[in-house]
Structure 1
Amino acid sequence: MALIDTVMATVHMLVGGLWMGSVLFFAVGVLPTARAGNIRAAAFESVISRLTMGSRVGSLLMFVTGGHLAGTRYTVETLLGSSRGHLVIGMLGLWLVVTGLVEIGGSKAKSGLAEKKVRTPADDAAPFYLGAAFVATALLVIAGLLVS
């Protein structure tokens, strides 16, 4: 059983780090380039599609691995009655928020990309992606608190 817990914890940490890292990279590296108009519409759409799909897969894997970890490490009382439990519940809420923000940002951007425009769709999606980046940072900070 310890091997399964170790595998779940490892997958959870790797997926979480890669997922939140990709959201941060997109918001800080790709989005400003698109807002300046220095990327082709097809390339921008491809990156958005990959981010959205990665977010969906990451969300599913985090649900499965996090559910296992919460089920084996916590009880209802410790989730609701301890500071570590509150951090875990907070992470779950933030995880849902970042998933939603990436989905909405992708939808906003793709609606304008059909017209082969880049700047306007990037500007329309920017608040959602920047919000997702802020939430991703909060998730990484909370993860650090839980690990320490």
Structure 2
Amino acid sequence: MSLIDAVVNGIHLGFAGLWVGSVVFVTLVVLPIAREGAFDAAPLETLTNRFTWISRTSVLLLFVSGGHLAGTRYTADSLFGSGQGHLVLTMVGLWFALALLVELGSKRLASGLAERKVRQPAREARPYFLAATVVGVLLFVDAALLSVPTAIPF
């Protein structure tokens, strides 16, 4: 593995962990507190804005770094014709689903904050973030299977 590939791999793994970890944090910590009304709108708005920035940055960097990794490790035949390739394609689909769910959930959360509402937006965002958390876990399972080439016999 070249130095460039190692750096790209590190960026990819680091931002994947940051992104999924922040989604899980919002789902399990922030939203329950907001649903109880223990947050004011201003701090929740700041948190939501920073979370959105982290998420969008992660999406972009994962797209670029994942594209580099797939381009250097797979051919079209191995991507569409092998178990490892199918895991990569599954990861792309899960990545897209996670990005969509996070954007939709963030929009729901931010929608009521301008009106200084907290509980209702948190309730409306919750299903999106719960689904995003499940997708994030599936991404990590997929990544674990990719890291062990003999785990997929086909």
TM-score w.r.t. structure 2 length?
A: 0.92
Shift of 1:60: 0.5
User: Distance in 2 between the 1:115 and 1:46 partners?
Assistant: 14
Q: Which runs of 4+ in 1 moved over 6 A?
A: none
Whole-angstrom distance in 2 between the partners of 1:26 and 1:108: 13
Offset, 1:15: 0.8
C-alpha deviation, 1:63, in angstroms: 0.8
AA at the equivalent of 1:19: W
Q: Which sections of structure 1, spanning at least 5 residues, go unmatched?
A: none
Q: Which letter does structure 1 place at the counterpart of 2:19?
A: W
In the alignment, structure 2 segments of 5+ residues that lack a partner are 149-154
**1:135-146 equivalences in 2 (<5 Å):** 135-146=135-146
Q: Which residue identity is paired with 1:64?
A: V
Does residue 52 in structure 1 map to residue 57 in structure 2? no
State the match for 1:87 in structure 2.
87
Normalized against structure 1, the TM-score is what? 0.96
Q: Which residue matches 1:98?
A: 98
2:115 aligns to what? 115
Code of the aligned partner of 1:44: L
Listed one character per residue, the Cα deviations across residues 6-61 of structure 1 (whole Å, up to 9, x for unaligned) are 11111111111111111111111111111111111111111111111111100100
- Figure out how many residues of one structure are paired with residues of the other and give that number: 148
- Letter aligned with residue 101 of structure 1: L
Inter-partner Cα distance in structure 2 for 1:30 and 1:108: 14
1:113-138 CA distance string (max 9 Å, x none): 11111100100111111111111111
Q: Distance in 2 between matches of 1:47 and 1:131?
A: 20
Deviation at 1:71, TM superposition (A): 0.4
CA RMSD of aligned residues (A): 1.1
The reply to whether residue 27 of structure 1 matches residue 32 of structure 2 is no
CA distance in 1, matches of 2:76, 2:134: 29
The one-letter code matched in structure 2 to 1:73 is R
Write the letter of the residue equivalent to 2:14: L
Counterpart CA distance in 2 for 1:43 and 1:145 is 39
Give the partner amino acid of 1:127: P
Aligned to 1:4: 4
